Structure 1
Amino acid sequence: MAKRTAIIDIGSNSARLVIFERSSHYGFHLICEQKSKVRIGEGAYEKEGYLQPAGIERAFLALQSFIYTIHKYQVRKTICVATSALRDAPNGNLFVKWIKKELGLHIKVINGKEEAKLGAIAANNLLPLNDAITIDIGGGSSDIALIENGRIIDTHSLDLGTVRLKELFFDKECSVKESNMHAKAFIHQELEKLPAKFRHSVAVGIGGTARALSKGVMKRSKHPLDKLHAFTYEVKAWRNYFDAIPRSSAKGLKKFNLKKSRYDTIREGTLIFSEILSRLGTQKVVSSAVGVREGVFLEQMLRNEGLAFPKDINPSVTSILDRFHPLIKLEQKNRGKLKIASRLYKVMQKEIKDDRRYKNELTWALKLSYIGEILNVYNSHETAFYIAIQELNYGFTHEEIVLVSSLLRIHGRELLYQPLVEEYSVILPEKKTLLWLSFIYTLTVFLHETSHSAQIDFGYKDKTLTITSDQPLYLAKEKIRKLEKPVPFAIIIKDRNKIPKNKALGIS
């Protein structure tokens, strides 16, 4: 697969360009994103589906600009897909041929089930879930996929889209109440086509409508982490919010904490999303910042992997290590640090008593512990925190992101950085747990960076932690003596620290 791949997604409402760069076999990151609200399907639903001149012109100009960007980034491979607006249009094929002739860009028109599959591939690989239903609401259709045990079981596409409902019902000369009534009847009629097996308590919200609603919920709930992807909320708690948006006038939308750029279709989109959630029996929504574009990329990247990353691979961690770890090759060969942490976490269970619940978060933090050094040695812990909080995008919950990043922020003898704990308190573990995880993380780093591949073991008895090593731990001893402890206990170090005799220097 090419090092840089461009994906263009032409939807009924927007056209988007993303460029991904691969850093290794399983590592990749986004290096460019552009969007244009082309509304290629504007006016089509009242004209028997035919694309209209205004939308065609906007789409051409956006695609032309995308191609300039692709050339600037020296992209080797470009994939362009189009969804419901083109597949529904009788003149869609003529548009595809025209673009090929004028711009040299091949457009692949995908059907609704394939669109649902691509969104599910992205969600399945880049969100922390094994079972869910994905809901991707576009301008012309809503595409749904059922995921069980990490596998895409089935997909379905419904003719329910924001632009479609807007032109059929909300742009008419009638009251908002009447528009809602007719639109809801249309939605219910379409939902009757959905097979009964499409029910699940967890739904993944994909697309502009779901993202806009999640951002509104985040603002209203004062969620501390400014990151949409993997943000989760309970449907019951926000049912009144969802019910009120479609009933609002256009001018009244500003009170819902929604982006102005979504005002034109958010009432229609919210109505569709809310009715689908009710039909599916959804209790919890997981927000997704990925969708068809990432699905197209991953379908290429993972075509020989069964369309899924191996269980022990996280693409965000892999990408961070590829780009920011100065000793990555050495670290991959040396797993001593993780062994030290595992033994210490196990031995200290007599005090911690958490059944090693946070072993994964501790492991990820230790793998990333040196990432700040390549940019800034003296404040590397601060740099590591900012890299992690921004770049840990895929496969983590918000709680996991903040905990891993917080551990990376630790420096010196103190176990907690209080301003950070206060800022993220609602999604961090309790203080006692944080102290113990910080202690294990810090002590592990102290021992590993000064032990030179030593064999290190631990024992804990009578409020005393004994550290034994077959190599000297001289440089670690002073740091360990100053290290804060979660509770009072002693630390004894038994290492091999033999000084050779030298009578000339008075050593005998």
Structure 2
Amino acid sequence: MSKVTTIIDIGSNSMRMVVLQKSSRFAFSLINETKSRVKISEGCYENNGNLQEIPMQRAYESLKSFLNISKSLKSRKIICVATSALRDAPNSNVFISRISKDLGLNIKVIDGEKEAYYGGVAALNLLHDDTFVTVDIGGGSTEFCFVKDGKVEKSISLNIGTVRIKELYFNKNDIEGARKNILDNLKSIFDLNIEIPKKVVGIGGSIRALSKIVMSNNDYPLDILHGYTYKAKKESFLFEEIIQAQNNDDLKSLGVKKDRFDTIKEGAFIFKTILDELSINEVITSGAGVREGVYLTDVLRNCNHKFPANFNVSVRSLLDRFQIDEKQSAFMGNNASKIFDVLKPLHNLDNKFRTLLIIASKLHSIGSTLNFYKSNDNAFDFILNGLNYDFLHTSRVIVAHTIKFSKKSLPSRSDILKYEELLPSLEVMQWMSFMISLNIAINQDLSRPKVEYILDSDTLKINLSNKSFLIQSNIDKLESPEDLIIKI
């Protein structure tokens, strides 16, 4: 695959583009994301499914702009897919031919099952979970991909979408007709005769907009949508309030942004009906969808469309982008695991913290690259937003705080107050702080020394191949939990 790749997704309501830059075999980073709400399907459901001239012109002009951005970013490969609006429209070839002739862009119209599959591949690789059903609400259709134990079981597309429901039912104030239409379509889910997970991964603009409102209403401390999780039943009343809103002022008071006034009621109605009918307990918001799925099926075409075991794309891409020395990174990771394991009788932490300590140790030097002074604070801010994929919100907050507290003194309760609901206990964070600080001190001169750790009661004995005054003095300054004694 080309180093810089552009993926364009022409949906019924919005047209979106991502430009992704590959940094190593599987790692990549997002360098541009552009969205245009061209509403290409506007008016089509009231006109026998035919695309109308004005929406097609909006899409045409936006595609020209998308291609200008792609060219400026030196993208060598462009993949453009179209979903419900173009696959349903009898006159879609008129638009497709014009784009090909005038802009030299080939549009691939994908069927609903493939669209659902792409969403499943994106969620499977870029979210920290392995059993769920994706729900991708678009303007003309809604896609479902069932994933169990890390494998895609089934993909299906249903003809329920925000623009379709709006034009056929909501504009006629036929709410019960809309409900019956959705429930009739959902029968196809039950006909699959597969176990329906109780966890939904929500994809698409409508679901993301709803998640933003939920986050705001709950005063959530982290301003990151991808990976945000909430209980479906707890937010059911909020969704009902959006559905029952009488005007735009009502929607605004509920936290709905202006650009979502036109379809948010239909989106909330479809999503709430799905959650209720499928008895869903939990919703995970995905910032990735069809576009990322298209990219990943290309990148991972020889790996069954799945990253290798223990591969984390966010960590690898950051190591690549900041050109962190591989030998130093490997040493810090290995040494972190040694420290964690030898001290386990004292800290008694779950092994998930071992993984997070290793990641924090590998990435801690990013702060110095950004700005040597206040490097820990720089790394903290960057890591909160830089671990884009494959991380629970709790995990990214723990990694960021572990790096922030990689200094001589242990964190206090006031230090973790802002993100307290996403962090473990203060005692756990003090152990994480101490272990990464010890790891950094051991390699203070970047010599990657051979080291052996022995725990004897409350004394940690450290055998170093080459003793160094710099290392010794830095270790002596460390504040340790539970009065741990360190001897070199």
Q: How far apart, in 1, do the equivalents of 2:167 and 2:440 lie?
A: 60
Q: Output the CA distance in 1 between the equivalents of 2:361 and 2:236.
A: 41
Q: Is the 8 A contact 1:23 1:323 kept in 2?
A: yes
Counterpart for residue 16 of structure 1? 16
Opposite residue 59 of structure 1, the aligned amino acid is A
- Among 223, 228, 243, the alignment partner of 2:225 is 228
Q: Deviations over 1:156-182 (max 9, x none)?
A: 11000000001011112x4xxxx3222
Equivalent position of 1:287 in the other structure: 285
Cα offset, 1:355, TM superposition: 4.2
Report the counterpart of residue 242 of structure 1 in structure 2: 239
Aligned residue for 1:363? 358
Contact 1:384 1:405 survives alignment (8 Å): yes
Match of 2:296 in 1: 298
Q: Is the 8 A contact 1:116 1:136 kept in 2?
A: yes
TM superposition outliers: structure 1 runs of 4+ over 6 Å? none
SS state at 2:367 partner: coil
Matches within 5 A, 1:386-465: 386-416=381-411, 420-450=415-445, 452-465=447-460
Structure 1 residue 205: deviation in Å?
0.2
Gap regions ≥5 residues in structure 1: 494-508
Q: Deviations over 1:180-216 (max 9, x none)?
A: 2221111111111222426111110000111011111
Which amino acid is the alignment partner of residue 371 of structure 2? N
What does residue range 64-103 of structure 1 map to in structure 2 within 5 Å? 64-103=64-103
The Cα of 1:423 is off from its aligned counterpart by: 1.2
What is the alpha-carbon distance in structure 2 between the residues aligned to residue 275 and residue 265 of structure 1? 15
AA partner of residue 423 (structure 1): K
- Once the two structures are TM-superposed, the CA of residue 417 in structure 1 deviates from its matched residue by 7.0
User: Displacement of 1:403 after TM fit?
Assistant: 0.5
Q: Aligned partners of 1:352, 1:417: CA distance in 2, in Å?
A: 17
1:267 maps to which of 260, 265, 268: 265
Distance (whole Å) between structure 1 residues aligned to residue 195 and residue 80 of structure 2: 29
Tell me the alpha carbon deviations over residues 449-476 of structure 1, each in whole angstroms, 9 at most, x when there is no partner. 3372332222223422221222213211
2:72 partner letter:
K
> Secondary structure, in 3 states, of the residue corresponding to 2:220?
coil
C-alpha contact (below 8 Å) 1:451/1:472 kept by paired residues: no
Q: 3-state SS of the aligned residue for 1:129?
A: coil
How far apart, CA to CA, are the structure 2 residues paired with 1:131 and 1:347?
34
Secondary structure, aligned partner of 1:145: strand
After the TM superposition, which residues 51-62 of structure 1 pair with which residues of structure 2 at under 5 Å, given as runs? 51-62=51-62
**1:199 and 2:196 equivalent?**
yes
Q: Distance in 2 between matches of 1:473 and 1:181?
A: 77
- Relative distance call for 1:71 and 1:412 in structure 2 (3 A) is same
Displacement, 1:386?
2.1
Asked if structure 1 preserves the Cα contact closer than 8 Å seen for 2:19 and 2:30, the reply is yes
Provide the rounded CA distance (Å) in 1 between the counterparts of 2:98 and 2:158.
Answer: 28
Given the alignment of the two structures, is residue 467 of structure 1 paired with residue 467 of structure 2, yes or no?
no
* Structure 2 letter corresponding to 1:264: D
Do 1:198 and 1:280's aligned partners in 2 also have CA atoms closer than 8 Å? Answer: no
Is 2:333–2:359's contact at 8 Å kept on the other side of the alignment?
no
Tell me the distance in 2 between the aligned counterparts of 1:310 and 1:200.
24
TM-score by length of 2: 0.96
Contact 2:407 / 2:433 at 8 angstroms: preserved in 1?
A: no
How many residues matched?
Answer: 485
Match of 2:318 among 317, 320, 323: 320
Equivalent residue of 1:416, what SS?
A: coil
The answer for the alignment partner of 1:34 in structure 2 is 34
Matching of residues 62-211 of structure 1 within 5 Å:
62-172=62-172, 174=173, 179-194=174-189, 195-197=192-194, 199-211=196-208
Q: TM-score scaled to structure 1, two decimals?
A: 0.92
Amino acid of the structure 1 residue aligned with 2:96: V
Q: CA deviation at 1:48?
A: 0.6
Counterpart amino acid of residue 313 in structure 1: F
Q: CA 1:30/1:336 → structure 2, altered by over 3 Å: closer, same or farther?
A: closer
**SS of the counterpart of 2:483?**
coil
Cα distance in 2 for partners of 1:338, 1:86 equals 49
Deviates more, 1:422-431 or 1:462-471: 462-471
Counterpart contact for 1:340–1:457, Cα < 8 Å: no
Secondary structure in 2 matching 1:491? strand
Deviations 1:225-267 (A, max 9, x none): 1000000011111111122221221331122222221111011
How many percent of aligned residue pairs carry the same amino acid?
40
> What RMSD over aligned residues (CA atoms) do the two structures have, in Å?
1.6
Amino acid at match of 2:125: N
> 1:348 Cα deviation (Å)?
1.8
Cα shift readout 1:386-424 (whole Å, capped 9, x = no counterpart): 221111010000000001011111243112276651111
In 1, Cα distance between equivalents of 2:446 and 2:78:
48
Residue matched to 2:213: 216
SS in 2 for 1:193: helix
How far did 1:76 drift? 0.4
- State yes or no: 1:277 paired with 2:259: no
Cα separation, 2, equivalents of 1:459 and 1:410? 24
Measure the CA separation in 2 of the matches of 1:234 and 1:6.
35
SS at structure 2 position matched to 1:171:
helix
What whole-Å deviation, never above 9, does each CA across 1:36-95 have from its counterpart, x for those lacking one? 111110110011100011111111111111112122212101111100000000001221
Tell me the alpha carbon deviations over residues 258-279 of structure 1, each in whole angstroms, 9 at most, x when there is no partner: 2221111011111111111222
